[in-house]
């Protein structure tokens, strides 16, 4: 009975994670701009990859038994995938927008464009990037 449960769990997590990865890849090809492509890939890295990692851990648990080091590696990998994917998605989206990549005209709401005009609001003249000069560091 335990073999059937392990096989079902590995299949469920592995197939679900793989489907999320494939669907995200298909959605990337259908996206109209770079921001949308990055946004579409976030569920794959934030949910698809951790599900595949859980499937691999359940399989290892079923085949080799429990090991504290394996559990630690799975937890670190799981947390790393979630943290890194969210931070990387945010940084990539902002860098694509700041680099001047065209945004699809129907992207709404476009909070990056709204925030771009106000990025210097509340800063003193010395703190703004537009007035920054390397010789002013004295």
Q: What is the mean pLDDT of the chain?
A: 76
In a domain, 42, yes or no: yes
Contact assessment for residue 53 and residue 77, using Cβ atoms and an 8 Å cutoff: yes
State residue 124's pLDDT score: 46
In a domain, 133, yes or no: no
In a domain, 77, yes or no: yes
Contact assessment for residue 68 and residue 55, using Cβ atoms and an 8 Å cutoff: no
In a domain, 44, yes or no: yes
Is the predicted pLDDT of residue 117 greater than 80, yes or no?
no
- Reported as a single tens digit per residue, the pLDDT across 81-112 is 888 887 877 787 777 777 777 767 666 655 65
Residues with Cβ within 8 Å of residue 51, at least 6 apart in sequence: 13, 14, 16, 17, 20
State residue 113's pLDDT score: 59
Which is more confident, 28 or 133? 28
Question: What is the C-alpha separation between 111 and 35, in angstroms, rounded?
Answer: 12
In a domain, 70, yes or no: yes
- Total domains, the chain: 1
Structural domain range at position 71: 2-121
In a domain, 85, yes or no: yes
Q: Can you give the pTM of this predicted structure?
A: 0.65
Percent with pLDDT over 70 in the chain: 72
In a domain, 130, yes or no: no
Which is more confident, 103 or 55? 55
- Reported as a single tens digit per residue, the pLDDT across 19-38 is 999 998 888 888 777 777 77
């Amino acid at each position: 009975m335990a073999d059937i449960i392990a096989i079902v769990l590995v299949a469920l997590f592995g197939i679900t994670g793989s489907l999320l990865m494939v669907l995200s890849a298909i959605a990337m090809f259908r996206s109209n701009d770079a921001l949308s492509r990055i946004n579409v890939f976030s569920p794959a890295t934030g949910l698809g990859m951790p599900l595949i990692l859980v499937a691999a851990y359940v399989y290892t648990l079923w085949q080799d038994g429990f090991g504290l080091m394996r559990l630690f590696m799975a937890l670190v990998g799981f947390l790393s995938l979630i943290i890194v994917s969210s931070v990387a998605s945010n940084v990539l989206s902002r860098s694509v927008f700041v680099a001047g990549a065209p945004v699809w005209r129907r992207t709404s709401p476009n909070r990056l464009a709204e925030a771009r005009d106000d990025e210097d609001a509340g800063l003193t003249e010395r703190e703004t990037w537009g007035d920054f000069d390397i010789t002013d560091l004295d």
